[in-house]
Structure 1
Amino acid sequence: METVKGVAVNAEPGSRPVLIDGCDTISALFRLRCAQHPTRTVHREKTLGIWHSYSWGDWWDHARWIGLGLRRLGLRRGEVVQILSEDRKEWLYFDQGIQCVGGIASGVYTTDSAGQLAYLLTDSACRFLIVENEEQLDKFLDIPGGAPGVEKVVILDDEGLHGLRGDRFLFLPDLYALGRQEEADHPGAFETEIDRNRAEDVALLIYTSGTTGPPKGAMLTHENILAGMQAGLRALEVDEDTEQLCFLPLCHIFERNNSAYFPIAVRSTVNFAESPETVFDNLREVSPHVFAAVPRVWEKVFSRVTIMAQEATWTGRMVWGLALRAGFARADADIAGRRPGAGVRLAAWLADWLVFRNLRHMLGMNRLAQGISGAAPISPALLRWYAAIGVPVVEGYGMTENAATCTVNRAGANRPGTVGPAMPGIALRIAPDGEVQAQGPANFKGYWNLPDKTAETFTADGWLRTGDIGRLDADGRLTITGRLKDIIITQGGKNITPAEIESRLKFSPYISDAVIIGDKRKYLTALIMIDQENVEKFAQDHKVPFSDFASLTRTQAVQDLIRAEVDAVNREFARVEQIKDFRLIDILLTAEDEELTATMKLKRSFVERKHSHLIEDMYRPEGP
C-alpha cells in the first residue's frame, strides 16, 4: 500500500483487489469516512438564499434511515431503485442508503418524458421509485397502465401534494420514520448489510443516452467505482480541502464520480448549485477549487467574455487584446513544455495583474486549481484560451462502460488536442481499424439483461471496445479523432472524421453545436445550431428585425454571420474537409428535446432523420 493525498491505496495502480484505506466497497469506505469525520462539513446547499452546511454524520444518519426504511418496505439485495430528482443532498443520501443495503442505485434524467421513465422502470424491474416533487410525480402518474411493477413511490418535497392519497405513495419523512423503526427492531442491521457487500456486486446502474437505440443499463460494480476513485486520487487536483460545485445530472457517471464518489475518497466538500440556470451565479459564490463541466458550459463562459470584450470601449478592447496576446504567448510556451522568455513572463504577469485576475474573480474561477472538461469533445483552441487567462482546464476521456475512467490531462502538463495519458491502472491500445480499446478494473460488468450486447462490447481477449477512433503519441497521450460509426466516406472515397471540424465550429461564440453531413455525398455540409443569447444580441446591436427564434435564423444578417464563421473554419482544413453549404436548425433545442442528450450533445442520427429536408435541400442538383 502507498499513501496518496493522505489516503492509503494499492501500491501498484490497477492491481486487485482495489483497496482505499483498506476498504473494497463504496459502502465500507463511506462508513469509514463518516466515522472518521462525523462533524466535518461534506455538503452545502442553499435554502431561501442562504447556504447551509451538512456533515458526514448527517449523511450517515439519513443514508442509514433510507436504507433500513427501504429494507422494511421489502427491498431485496440486487434490486434496482430509480431516483428522479435534480441534484441535491438527498440524491446522495439515497445513493449510499440503497447501496449500503445491497440495492442498486440508478438515476433518471429530470428531462425524461413519462414514456422514457416507463421504459427505465420496466427494463430495470424497479419496485421502488424516488421522485423529487409534484412535477416529477406527474410523469409517473402519466405512464399508461400505471406502471404496475412499482410498489412504492417516495416523494422528497410535499409542496402541492398535501392531499395526495394512496398506499403506493410515501413522503420522505415517513421513510425516515420507517428506517428508525427498523433500526430499533434490528440494531446493527445497517452495518451488517454493509459487511455483506462484495467488490464484484453491482452498485449502480447507469443508462446510456440512447443515441443509437433504446438506452442500455451499464452495470458498475463497487470495484469499478473504487478503481475510478483510486485513479482520480492520483491524477486529479483534489484533496481534503477542495471545494466543488455539483450541477451536472447525478444520473450521469461523470458527475456521479465528481460529486458522489471522489469526495468520499478524498474527503472534499460538495456545494450543490440551486439549479442548472443559476450555475454561473453559484460558481461566483462558491469559487471552487475544482470545477467539472461539459464543453457546452466552458463554451458559454468563453462566449460571454468574448461578447463583453467586443462591447468594451476602444481603450478596453485594446487592453484586452494586448493582455490576451501576452496570455497566449505564455500559454503556448507552457503547452510546448518550454520555459517562456523573460519578456513573455513580464508581459504575462502584467496582463494577469491588470486584467485576468479580475476576470477570474468575476467568473468565480479565482481559486480554480483544475477545471475538467468531459462527456464530449472540446475545441483545443478553447483550452488554449482558458490557459491564456490563467484558468487551467484539462480534457479527460471516458465512457459509462469504464466508469468514466480512462485518460485525463494534468494541470501541470496539459496538451490541448489530446485527452491526456491513461489514468493510473488503465491500459490503452489502438486496434488495427483505429479503435481505442481499454483494459483495467474500471471496466464495467456488462449491460443489464443484455448478454449479447455485453459480448459485443468486449474483444475476445477481454478489452473494452470504446467505439472511438484515436491515436497514441510517443508520450502515451491519446487523441480522439471521432467515432467509428460516424466516419464519413464521401463519393470520392475520402474518409473523414467530423468531430474535429464540429469542434472547431463550436469555438465560435455564435455556434453552440453542429453536425457535419457528407456520407456517400460529393461534399460536406453542416446542420448548425446557433447560440441564442449571442446571436440575439448581435441582431439587436445591428438592428436586425426578428419576431422569434425561427425568424432570427432566417434573417440574411444571421445567415451571413454564420457563413463568415464557417468560412473561417474552412481555411483551417483541406479542400475535401471544407463545408460547402449549411443550414440553421430553426428550433431552439433544450435537454427536453429528443435531438439532445441530457448532457447537451446532439444525437447525430436523430438530427439527420428529423431534419432530412434541410439536408436534401443542400444537395439539390443546382447546389454547390
Structure 2
Amino acid sequence: MHTTFPQLLLTHAQERPAAPAMREKEYGIWQSLSWGALATLVEHLACGLHQAGLRRGDHMVVVGANRPRLYATMLAAQSLGAVPIPLYQDAAGAECVFPINNAEVAFAFAEDQEQVDKLLEVRAQCPSLAHIYFDDPRGLRNYDEPGLASVDELLAAGQAFAGLHPGFFKAEVEKIAHTDVAAMFFTSGTTGNPKGVVHTHDSLLNRARAGADFDKLTHSEEVLAYLPPAWIGQNIFSYAQWLACGYVVNCPESAATVTIDLKEIGPTYYFAPPRVFEGLLTSVMIRMEDAGAPKRKLFHAFMRLAQRVGPALMDGKAVGTVDRVLYALGNFMVYGPLRNNLGLSRVRVAYTAGEAIGPDLFTFYRAIGVNLKQLYGSTETAVFVCLQPDHEARADTVGVPCAGVEIKVADNGEILVKSPGLLKEYYKNPVATAEVLTDDGWYHTSDAGFIDAHGHLKIIDRVKDVGRIQGGGFDGALFAPKYVENKLKFFQHIKEAVAYGDGREKVCVMVNIDFDAVGNWAERRNLPYAGYTDLAQKPQVYQLIKECVEKVNADLSADALLAGSQVSRFLVLHKELDADDGELTRTNKVRRGFIAEKYQVLVDALYNGASSQYIETQVKFEDGRTGSVSATLKIEDAKTFAPVQAAA
C-alpha cells in the first residue's frame, strides 16, 4: 500500500491518539508525547512554516540531536511538500555551506545556541538562508538577527493560522503523492563535495516496511534514538520505521547520558554501528579488569563457555545437556547481569551496519544472548538490501536479499543492486547519478563481494580498497584492509586502525589506542603519563599493542585467502583520528586515502625500515582554534606466521 510520512502520522493519531509516539528525557524525567499531541504539533508547525513562506519543493535544513520537535519539523516540512535535509550536528559550520547552497535552502531548524551560532557564522556565504528557527532558547535571549526566531513563536503563529483555516493542514497532506521527494541526505564526501541523495516517500517507506516485516516488528517496540538524524541508518530506524510501525521512539537527554538512558528504556529493537558495540565491550572489559581476582576468574571461565556454546544456542542448534545447564548457570551469574548492565536485556532484535563488524566482536554479543545481526545497505539504497534471518546470523556474511531486492556480481567482483529503495538521483549531479545507476535500474555499490553457497552475501571490502601484496613472502596474496582493521579493533585497547599494503610487499598499520581503556590499564600498573601523546608512545603500551597485532596475525595465518594480510610493522599514532581534522567521515569511517597523504612521512617510515619518525600535525580544537601536536613515533616489527595450510 502506497502512502506518505504525514499520512501515516494522521493514521496513528486517528487510530491511537493517546498512545505514546515519542519520549524525551528532560531534567532526568521521561516525558511522553502521544500520537494525537504529535499530530497537533506538526499541524501548527506546518501552518507556521507555510505562513513564513515554505512551499512545495523547497528545502529545509534540520540540525540537532534527536528531539521530538526536530522530528515534528521534518514531518511539518513534508506535510507542505517541502523536503527536509538533516545535517550532522557535530559538523563544523564550513561543512554546512555546500549542502545549504547546493539545495538553495531558505529555512533551517537549529536545536540550540551551538547550532544557531554555526548557521549564523556561515550565513554570509549562504545568501538564500533567510529563516532560522531555534528550539532551545538558552543563551539566545540577546540575539538580534534578521530571520532568527524561536520554534515557540512559529508554533504560536501556526496555531492562530490553523484556527482560522481548520482544513488547511489535512488538505496539504492529501496533496502529497507517494512518488514525491520525501528527504535528502548528504553523503560523507570522502572525495570532493558531498552528494545529496534524493529519496521519495515510496523508496524510504518501502524499505522500512521490508525490514519491519522481516523481523516482525510491531507498534509495541521500544527504540532509543541516539545516533545523528543525518545518518540514513538512524533515520530509517527512528523515523521511517517508526511511522511505518507506530512504535515508541525515545530521545536521550544528552550524548553523555545515553548509556544510562539505554538501561532505563531497555529497547526491544536496537541499532548501532560497530563502533558503539566496540565501546560497550570496552567499558565492560575495563570494569572487569578493576574487579577482584575471583570475579575475574569466574567471568573469564563463563565467557569461554559462552564463546563455545552461546552462538549455537542462539542459532537454535543442538547443544549437550551439560553445556546447556552450565550456560543456564552462566546466564544467571554472568550473561544476564552483563546484558542488563549494557542496557540490552530486553533486546529482541539488534542490528549493526555502517561498516563491517569484527567477527570476534559479533560473536561476543551473540555468545551472551544478544540477538545481534548484520544488515547491508547504504544511503543510496535506503539501508535495507540484505538482512540476516534469525538462526542464520554469521560473522562473515551480511545476510540474504530482503523482499524486492535483486543482487548480481559484476566481473570485477562489485556488488550490483536492484531495489524499490534506490535513490531517485544525486541532487543536481546527473554525472554522478549516471555513474552509479544503470539505464536498466542497477545500482553500483562500489563494494566487492560474492554470494556464498547458502545464498548469503559476503562483503570483502570496498572495490577500490581490495588489493594484492606485491613481492615478499606473500606475493599476489589478497589484501583486504577493512578486514584487518576490524580484527584489530576487537581488542579493547585499540580504538582505530588504518592498514596499508596494496601493491607493496607487506602490510603496515597505524593504530589509535583507546585512551580510556589503555589509561585504565596503565593506572593499574602505576604507569604515569601526561596525556594521550605521552601514553601512546610508552614502551609498555607498544608491547601491549604488539601482542594484539600478533594475535591477529596468528588468526589471519589460518585463513587461506587472507594469510598475506598479516601485519609486518606498526606504529601508534600521537593523536586520535578525528572527523574535525578530516581523518574520519561524520559517520566515523576512516578516510584511508586522506590519512595516507596527511601522514605520508609515517607511511614512508613504515616501509623503509625506520625505527622511529618525528611528526608534527595541525589539529582543530572543539572551540574552533587550531594548534599542533608533535612527537617522535616508534615503529615496531610484528611476528608473522606461515599459512596453516602451508605448514600442514
TM-score w.r.t. length of structure 1: 0.93
1:271 is displaced (CA, Å) by 0.9
Distance 2:425 2:362 in 1: 34
Deviation at 1:336, TM superposition (A): 6.8
Report 1 or 2 for greater relative contact order, CA contacts < 8 Å, sequence distance ≥ 6: 1
3-state SS of 1:572 partner: helix
Give the corresponding residue for 1:155. 134
Change in CA separation of 1:335 and 1:611 when aligned onto 2, cut-off 3 Å? farther
Aligned equivalents of 2:179 and 2:555: distance in 1?
Answer: 48
Select the residue among 257, 262, 274 that pairs with 1:283: 262
- How does 1:190-229 map onto structure 2 within 5 Å? 190-229=169-208
Which residue, out of 355, 368, 374, partners 1:376? Answer: 355
2:497 to 514, 535, 543: 514
Matched, 1:549 2:529: no
Q: CA deviation at 1:495?
A: 3.7
Alpha-carbon displacement from aligned partner over 1:404-435 (angstroms, at most 9, x marks no partner): 11112134432222111112221212111111
- Counterparts of 1:307 and 1:621 in 2: how far apart (Å)? 35
Aligned match of 1:257 = 236
Distance 1:155 1:104 in 2: 19
SS in 1 for 2:31: strand
Q: Which amino acid aligns with 1:26?
A: F
Once the two structures are TM-superposed, the CA of residue 525 in structure 1 deviates from its matched residue by 0.4
Partner of residue 599, structure 2: 611
Matched residues in 1 for 2:305 and 2:470: separation? 45
- SS of corresponding position for 1:270: strand
User: What is the CA distance between 1:536 and its match in structure 2?
Assistant: 0.7
Residue 405 of structure 1 aligns with which residue? 384
User: Do 2:352 and 2:372's aligned partners in 1 also have CA atoms closer than 8 Å?
Assistant: yes
Contact 2:406 2:418 in 1 (8 A): yes
In 2, Cα distance between the equivalents of 1:110 and 1:555? Answer: 35
Q: Which runs of 5+ in 1 are unaligned?
A: 1-18
Residues of 2 paired with 1:329 and 1:553: CA distance?
Answer: 34
- Report how far residue 115 of structure 1 moved: 0.9
Structure 1 residues 214 and 482 mapped into 2: Cα distance closer, same or farther (>3 Å)? same
3-state SS of the aligned residue for 2:569? strand
Is the Cα–Cα contact under 8 Å of residues 62 and 93 in structure 1 kept in the other structure?
yes
- Contact preservation (8 Å) 1:393, 1:411: no
Of 503, 508, 513, the residue aligned with 1:530 is 513
Match of 1:439 among 389, 393, 418: 418
Inter-partner Cα distance in structure 2 for 1:592 and 1:130: 22
Which string of whole-angstrom CA distances, capped at 9 and with x for unpartnered residues, describes residues 511-547 of structure 1?
A: 1111111232221101111111001111111222211
- Please say if 1:594 is aligned against 2:582: yes
Q: Measure the CA separation in 2 of the matches of 1:605 and 1:287.
A: 40
In the alignment, residue 292 of structure 1 is paired with which amino acid?
F
Quote the offset at 1:144 in angstroms: 6.5
Match of 1:76 among 36, 48, 55: 55
C-alpha distance in 1, partners of 2:30/2:314?
38
1:622 positional shift: 5.3
Residue 642 of structure 2: aligned partner: none
Partner of 1:318: 297
What is the RMSD of the two structures over their aligned residues, measured on CA atoms? 1.7
The whole-number CA distance in structure 1 between the counterparts of 2:550 and 2:314 is 27
Q: Secondary structure at the match of 2:219?
A: coil
**Secondary structure of 1:250's partner?**
coil
Question: Structure 1 residue aligned with 2:567, among 573, 579, 597?
Answer: 579
How many residues are matched? 603
AA aligned to 2:342 is L
Q: Which moved more, 1:237-246 or 1:252-261?
A: 237-246
Distance 1:339 1:409, change over 3 A: same
CA distance in 1, matches of 2:27, 2:252: 13
Match among 476, 482, 488 for residue 505 of structure 1: 488
Give distance in 1, aligned partners of 2:453 and 2:315: 14
Question: CA–CA distance in 1 between the matches of 2:244 and 2:233?
Answer: 16
Distance of 1:96 and 1:58 partners within structure 2 = 13
More displaced 10-residue stretch of structure 1: 488-497 or 125-134: 488-497
Aligned partner of 1:540 in structure 2 is 523
- Asked if structure 2 preserves the Cα contact closer than 8 Å seen for 1:82 and 1:108, the reply is yes
Say whether the 8 Å CA contact 1:470–1:481 is kept in structure 2: yes
* Matched AA of 1:200: T
* 8 Å Cα contact 1:140/1:146 also seen in 2: no
Q: Distance in 2 between matches of 1:369 and 1:258?
A: 15
Contact preservation (8 Å) 2:507, 2:566: yes
The ranges of structure 1 where at least 4 consecutive aligned residues each deviate by more than 3 angstroms after the TM superposition are 334-337, 492-495, 589-593, 621-624
State how far apart, in whole Å, the 1-side matches of 2:188 and 2:215 are: 26
Please state whether the residue corresponding to 1:394 is helix, strand or coil: strand
Deviation at 1:77, TM superposition (A): 0.9
Between 1:549-558 and 1:175-184, the stretch displaced more is 175-184
How far residue 504 of structure 1 moved from its aligned partner, in angstroms, is 0.6
Distance in structure 2 (CA, Å) of the matches to 1:127 and 1:257? 25
Pair 238,591 (structure 1): closer, same or farther in 2 beyond 3 Å = farther
CA contact (8 A) 1:510 1:530 kept: yes
Amino acid at match of 2:555: E
What SS does the corresponding residue of 2:415 show, helix, strand or coil?
Answer: strand
Equivalent position of 2:634 in the other structure: none
- Partners of 1:411 and 1:353 in 2: CA distance: 23
Go from structure 1 to structure 2 and tell me whether the alpha carbon gap of 1:237 and 1:565 turns closer, same or farther (over 3 Å shift): farther
> In 1, are the aligned partners of 2:88 and 2:228 still within 8 Å (CA)?
yes
Query: Hey, what does 1:9 align to over in structure 2?
Result: none
The residue that corresponds to 1:140 in the other structure is 119
Question: C-alpha deviations, 1:275-317, integer Å up to 9, x for none?
Answer: 2222111111111111111111101111222233333333222
Shift of 1:146: 4.9
> TM-score, normalised on structure 2?
0.90
Counterpart amino acid of 1:600?
A: N
Shift of residue 621 of structure 1? 4.8
For residue 332 of structure 1, report the CA deviation from its aligned partner.
Answer: 4.0
The CA distance in 1 between the partners of 2:315 and 2:158, in whole Å, is 57
**Whole-Å separation in 2 of the counterparts to 1:405 and 1:106:** 20
Kindly state the Cα deviation for residue 459 of structure 1 after the two structures are TM-superposed. Answer: 2.8
Q: Which runs of 5+ in 2 are unaligned?
A: 558-562, 612-636, 638-648
Distance in 2 separating the partners of 1:622 and 1:282: 48
Q: Percent of counterpart pairs with the same letter?
A: 30
Give the superposition deviation at 1:43.
Answer: 0.7
Change (3 A) 1:474 1:621: closer
Match of 1:478 in 2: 457
The answer to whether the Cα contact below 8 Å between 1:237 and 1:290 also exists between their aligned partners in 2 is: no
The residue identity in structure 1 corresponding to 2:482 is A
The reply to whether residue 186 of structure 1 matches residue 174 of structure 2 is no
Give the corresponding residue for 1:273: 252
Q: Give the one of 19, 24, 41 matched to 1:45.
A: 24
